[in-house]
Amino acid sequence: MIALSLAEIAAAVGGELRLHGADTPETTVDGVVDTDSRNIREGGVFVAKPGEATDGHLFVGKALEQGAALALVERVVDEPITQIVVPDVVVAIGELAREVVARVRAAGRLQVVGITGSNGKTTTKNMLATILRAEGETVAPVGSFNNAVGAPLTMLRVTHDTRFLVCEFGADASGQIARLAGLVTPDVGVVLMVGMAHAGGFGGIEATVKAKSELVSAIRDGGTAVLNIDDARVASMAGIARERGLGLLWFGEGEGADVRASDLRVTASGTDAVISAGETALPLHLQVLGSHHVKNALAAATAATALGVSLDDAIARLETVELAERWRMQVMGSERVRIINDAYNASPDSMQAALRTLAQITGPDERMVAVLGAMSELGEYAVEEHSKIGLLAVRLRIPRIVVVGQEARPLYLAAVAEGSWNDEAVFFEDAEAAFAYLQGELRDGDRVLVKSSNSAGLRFLGDRLGESFS
């Protein structure tokens, strides 16, 4: 965090300053801000966030031992450290992030990009950060820091030397993106797609569209909206951009895209495409598996051009990206048995894309194996959407479908009903049982997809399989 006095921090968060020791209101703090006491370093700010399993107020002493100079708390803690007391520490770190970003922006040339969408946010964020780091200091989220806590903690990492701040905005209810994006008013806002992810929380697909459009509404005056021309729901957000007088750039495979992909070809070594913008046409070899990641690369390249990066440079840097993120189409195992661990997140759209990628990269003498778990946060749509995935897996002629966990059972039942018989589709209650089965079932030439939402825990099953067949 940039240096701020205790008085400035208290004013930014609307809190009551409780000084300790030699500290005065003018004492400055410039250390890391974090909710995990283990990550605190000398001069840091510890945020005592109450949680479901424990309470951060219990760890103020531990943060002090780690070198914390200040604790942001909801009640005074009996520890020898200066504290700022606020009604809600999550709201407070958002307000602190707003203040810090505004000061850095006013003092330098910081540009902010916001990214949202039902799928692909983290991959696109990583790709864009790779492009921008060659231009100057770039701050981007670690992993999927895209919620009410993670997004502000990312924002608070900016310094006066930061050129670019890339923010990822996730949400499972209306108003959340507006709140987070409103903290920084992005110069560029990227909307990737609108699908069924989190539809249960939003209350349906139309409510999801409205929630994702909050990013376009939050772009600063004179900024640019970067929209997916191939997604009609995203394309409808152009009306908001035009009404506000924003710049508008399209990406996708459609003819009207400003940055367009064509001639896609998926292989086991990555995805090839031709990227066009105006009269320029450039080849792209993306090491990340899956044609759906070309769309993410397009979004990143288009956002980069909005920030002044040439398309040539953007593509050259995209080609250096080897992995979207851990547990996202992560290739493991060996040539003998290839494991694709894509079990960090799952929605109907990403599940379909992953299954199609498995079909595209599996050779005629190789066997497809799909290890599938639950897609979370689908609410009333859960049975229907899991059933659709079971149908697709059979129609893609995947000869071995391994379904794990009760929440995913409708997927298994649909696969059996569609004609997957003679143990082509099998069901296991948990990952341990599935692992034991796969240990004896997998053979040379198998190409294995492990796919589920984070909550299903299959990413660890993927890791075990990767190690076992390495």
- 179-226: pLDDT as tens digits: 999 999 999 999 999 976 555 555 678 888 999 999 999 999 999 999
Question: Greater confidence, 419 or 350?
Answer: 350
pLDDT, the chain, mean: 93
% residues pLDDT > 70 (the chain):
98
DSSP for 231-249 reads -HHHHTTHHHHHHHT-EEE
- What's the rounded mean pLDDT across residues 422-442? 94
pLDDT digit string (tens) for 353-387? 999 999 999 999 999 999 999 998 888 889 999 99
- Mention every residue, 6+ apart, whose C-beta is less than 8 A from residue 430: 404, 405
| Nearest CA-CA partner of 13 in 156, 161, 147, 142 | 156
Residue 201 confidence (pLDDT): 57
Confidence of residue 470 (pLDDT cuts 50, 70, 90): confident
For residue 378, the SS3 value is coil
Does domain 108-318 match CATH 3.40.630.10? no
| Nearest CA-CA partner of 398 in 375, 420, 418, 422 | 420
To the question of whether residue 162 is assigned a binding role by annotation, the answer is: no
Question: Greater confidence, 447 or 205?
Answer: 447
CA 298 vs CA 94, 229, 249: distances in Å: 30, 11, 11
Residue 142 confidence (pLDDT): 84
- Mention every residue, 6+ apart, whose C-beta is less than 8 A from residue 225: 188, 189, 191, 216, 219, 237, 238, 240, 241, 246, 247, 248, 249
DSSP for 199-236 reads HHHHTSHHHHHHHHTHHHHHSPTT-EEEEETT-HHHHT
What are φ and ψ of residue 331, in 5° steps? -85, 125
pLDDT digit string (tens) for 23-50? 999 999 999 999 999 999 999 999 999 9
Residue 268 confidence (pLDDT): 84
Confidence of residue 465 (pLDDT cuts 50, 70, 90): very high
To the question of whether residue 123 is assigned a binding role by annotation, the answer is: yes
Task: Average the pLDDT over each of 61-65, 80-84, 298-302, 326-330 and give the range with the smallest value.
Answer: 326-330
To the question of whether residue 117 is assigned a binding role by annotation, the answer is: yes
User: 3.90.190.20, 3.90.180.10, 3.40.50.150, 3.40.190.10: which CATH number matches 330-468?
Assistant: 3.90.190.20
What are φ and ψ of residue 341, in 5° steps? -90, 105
Residue 144 pLDDT > 80: no
Q: Return the amino acid letter for 98.
A: R
**Among all chains, which residue has been given the structure tokens 């801000």?**
33
pLDDT digit string (tens) for 388-397? 999 999 999 9
Residue 210 confidence (pLDDT): 92
| Nearest CA-CA partner of 142 in 125, 159, 158 | 125
To the question of whether residue 159 is assigned a binding role by annotation, the answer is: no
To the question of whether residue 121 is assigned a binding role by annotation, the answer is: yes
- What's the rounded mean pLDDT across residues 268-284? 93
**Contact by Cβ (8 Å): 299, 324:** no
Buried b (16+ CB within 10 A) or exposed e, 121-147: bbbbbbbbbbbbbebeebbbbeebbbb
User: 3.40.50.2000, 3.40.1390.10, 3.40.50.300, 3.40.50.620: which CATH number matches 4-87?
Assistant: 3.40.1390.10
Residue 298 confidence (pLDDT): 97
To the question of whether residue 388 is assigned a binding role by annotation, the answer is: no
Residue 315 confidence (pLDDT): 97
| Nearest CA-CA partner of 253 in 221, 230, 281 | 230
pLDDT digit string (tens) for 402-415? 999 999 999 999 99
Per-domain residue ranges for the chain?
Answer: 4-87, 108-318, 330-468
pLDDT digit string (tens) for 303-355? 999 999 999 999 999 999 987 777 778 999 998 999 999 998 888 989 999 99
To the question of whether residue 122 is assigned a binding role by annotation, the answer is: yes
User: Across the strands, what pairs with 325?
Assistant: 328
| Rounded Cα gap, residues 85 and 408, in angstroms | 44
